[in-house]
Amino acid sequence: MTTRNELLTVRQVLDELGGVSRRTFYRWREIGKAPKGIRLPNGELRIYRSDLDDWLESLRSAV
């Protein structure tokens, strides 16, 4: 069972988004159109599930 505050890898986020490319995701981050993330001390990016869910909900509300 997953929790709402689970930390997701970029790959997990891309899979949840239906196969969005890594390049597209990082481009969205560059222009401020991606969910918030945190950078771990080893340099890897993680996204809280709650931030991904909130971001997706904001997209639905924008339509």
The model's pLDDT over 2-18, given as tens digits with 9 standing for 90+, comes to: 556 899 999 999 999 99
AA letter at 58: S
What is the pLDDT at residue 60? 87
> Is 29 part of any domain?
yes
Distance CA 6, CA 38 (A): 12
> Is 1 part of any domain?
no
> Is 2 part of any domain?
no
Question: How many domains are there within the chain?
Answer: 1
Q: Which of 14-18, 49-53, 57-61 has the lowest mean pLDDT?
A: 57-61
> Is 25 part of any domain?
yes
Q: At residue 39, what are phi and psi to the nearest 5 degrees?
A: -100, 120
Which pair of tokens denotes residue 15? 């899979």
Tell me which residue range forms the domain holding 13.
Answer: 7-62
Distance CA 24, CA 63 (A): 21
